[in-house]
Structure 1
């Protein structure tokens, strides 16, 4: 099927292709050996993606669940076994992070990777137990998120964070404390995961690149991709007023699970049933929450391609991110990346990198 020019990125630029992984393990039930194997399998997936020509690999951040809990440590290991692939977080929930420590870890990773970190951030999902454990409380969590986010941005920009009133370790009194080691270029590679029109506009005002995912955190009655396209257009409008010379970078995540035979798809059936059980046919949660989920595109690659060609949000994007299922064997995930790269992405305007 020939690519529709309307789906290509703005100004005819090349579409970039990434993937997003949970790096699944068995959580508290797993043995140390199995947990280590899961991390090594995750690193292997990044190596395979680089071989296939993917532009970026992204990881989620999940505390206390059977998924990756320390994304920057994991990506540091990945950086030493890859040479070109950009390494991203999708996303780090800022409300559960100390902003200066996060800046230090990110700066070290960026330097060790040769400037390949794409740091994706968000406010994070609300969870009282995490707010208590990570001292992220307070009656106004939005204000707390913005406080931590501002502190993180100041650190990454190299702003003075404190002035010593008395000597400290090897540092003299009067010394101005700034991020050490500095990684000044990283401040140009910061993303924000937005799920609503308001958060997309806020991301533009703060100078972030934009990530939109498989979840909209607002319900307007519109189809998922239509509302997400409106969020992207609002982001572009604000960014154009604020930085008219800047080319926006916008990543759209979609669950893309191509398979060629029924046997190929057997492993996916339990996960697909789990995903579908959470929502009605329009993506509205059965719980009644004011959210909307993206469809999971699975099966025939040609049918998946047709759906993506019609996706209004993807038509506004510069990056397509293949969201892998939260569970699945390493072989399934490698096969998914290969089929997406060979059967789908080239028809959307992507060519392999490197």
Structure 2
């Protein structure tokens, strides 16, 4: 199959690149190199920071990079730049795509437990992630194999894939908007009652990190609708690797809120309160057990001895979550102060 424009919707779908120019190929390889480098750096950071190698957050973060971004990128290197069998490269990149995209969603989902106590919301979010696996991953994968199969029906498969690719990109972008939107909304609510200035600063940073991640999703979506297929799918690996590193930055900010060394000694105990929004019957998911899962409600402010300015506000708080700083430090090691 011969195509002549880098904006052609068939560009790269069937295994061919519309442009054979060295600069174009170098750009694609540059995006792929960024993805691989970021994954290698992320693995080192995760393994050296987490003291307990367990839990949904830990494994989703690690596997999204190692079993997601990496095989996704390697699959497209084989597809575009080698003579590897088409089915082999498509299988590798498809496995990587599943783990990369849904793994990223699971990372965001596991982080939602830190700010949302309502089990109904969390359950619906989980159902959304599972539903998108069947509604978006499965048909896209079938069309991917069909588009790379040799035969008279290949053009029809490619057209179908081109349509489904836009559908799944839109669907997964909406999914991440929902996940990040819920997180930012709850964080803004916490900002209204948090009286610790340093913690407020960190929460603003969390909001901007989530906004940056959403902007990157919209960039990919724009490239897809502009039919820059080869650029979009190679840049996607780089962007997802950057988003995973930003997730790691979010983790560092969350730990910094709890382990703020200026007002609180590392060896002191602190009551971590959570907002009581009609969830008094919800199970206790304190960070005392966070070594096994980050699925915990980690409030951002309100020390045990009261507010910093000594004033009192009529806010309903659940005081049933007591966590020691020593227990938390067994879960995650706070980065050095000069890196925060």
Asked if TM exceeds 0.5, the reply is no
Whichever of the two has the greater Rg, that structure is: 2
TM-score by length of 2: 0.27
TM-score by length of 1: 0.27
Relative to its length, the structure with more strand (as a share) is: 1
Relative to its length, the structure with more helix (as a share) is: 2
The one of the two structures with greater contact order (alpha-carbon pairs below 8 A, sep at least 6) is: 2
